[in-house]
Amino acid sequence: MTRGTPKAEITAARAHISETRRPTVAALEAILQTEHRVLDHGFVRVIDYMGDDAAVVQAARVSYGRGTKKISEDRALIRYLMRHWHSTPFEMCEIKLHAKLPIFVARQWVRHRTANINEYSARYSILDREFYTPAPAQLASQATTNRQGRGAVLDDEQAAHVLHLLRDDAERSYATYRRLLNDPDDPDHDADRTGLTRELARIGLSLSTYTQWYWKTDLHNLFGFLRLRADPHAQFEIRAYAELIWDIVRQWVPASCEAFEDYRMNAVSLSAAEADVVRQALTGTAMTRPRNISPREWSEFSARFGIIAT
């Protein structure tokens, strides 16, 4: 896996057609083995998948075949399952992706532990000289109200300075990495010097260096990943991957995605105290902050519904 999978290998994989008795999804079959570009050097590629919307229905009914003959009935059942937080039927669908991503994005991504991952081994192979460089529009100061968020975008002069520092640091750390390896393909190779083992030479690399992995997960846990990482509050870089994956998943299981959008991604949840306030408002009682709701929570509650609550 060097600089992505070789084009000849991808072409051969896309040209290979296998007969199967398992259900397939035409939209996903059409994009198998296709690299979808992300950020400056990254990509996501669908390697394989299992199941479809009908598999969710089949698992819920523990039946043989592909669900009812009426699509509307299958859709209604999927929405019921999502609405009532059933999980195992959605676990019957799986997808395997090949992703190329900066190391710091991978370290966020791997927090979603309910998946199978096999990452490019820098103990075995030499990493490519490829680093993530943010676009100027993504360079911002630290937010004052969010300890893990971005504030105002840097001006042109500041952005140019930051980009210079980032590129210089990545280039220098990679040059050191290659010198430590004393790789014969490196221009600075010294035939009289012994190189350092790869597992130690890598430790000084920048987190912007690109890595690759195969990532396989089921639909239930994939929805959990998308709910957090495709959210507008997620870090831009991992959100770029999540939004691309979300587009792929909508082609794969459209009915399940529709239910997920309605009951998870675009839904609004209420605490017991907030629900009591809503009940009171429906009877004509003024919406005032109860003592068991903090000012910050009350502000968030008001923002969810676009109202001014006292």
Annotated catalytic sites, by residue? 229
CB atoms within 10 A of CB 88: 12
Question: Which residue has 């870090």 as its token pair?
Answer: 235
Residue type, 126: I
The H or E element spanning position 81 is helix 71-83
Whether residue 46 contacts residue 33, with contact meaning beta carbons closer than 8 Å, is answered with: yes
Sequence-distant (≥ 6) Cβ neighbours of residue 266 within 8 angstroms: none
Tokens representing 198 are 């790869």
Helix (H) or strand (E) holding 96: strand 94-102
In this structure, what token pair is assigned to residue 79? Answer: 């929405």
Which residue, chain included where needed, has tokens 């300890």? 147
For residue 223 the two structure tokens come to 């929805």
Q: Which amino acid is at 216?
A: K
**How far, in Å, are 57, 77, 84, 162 from residue 92 at the CA level?**
10, 15, 17, 46
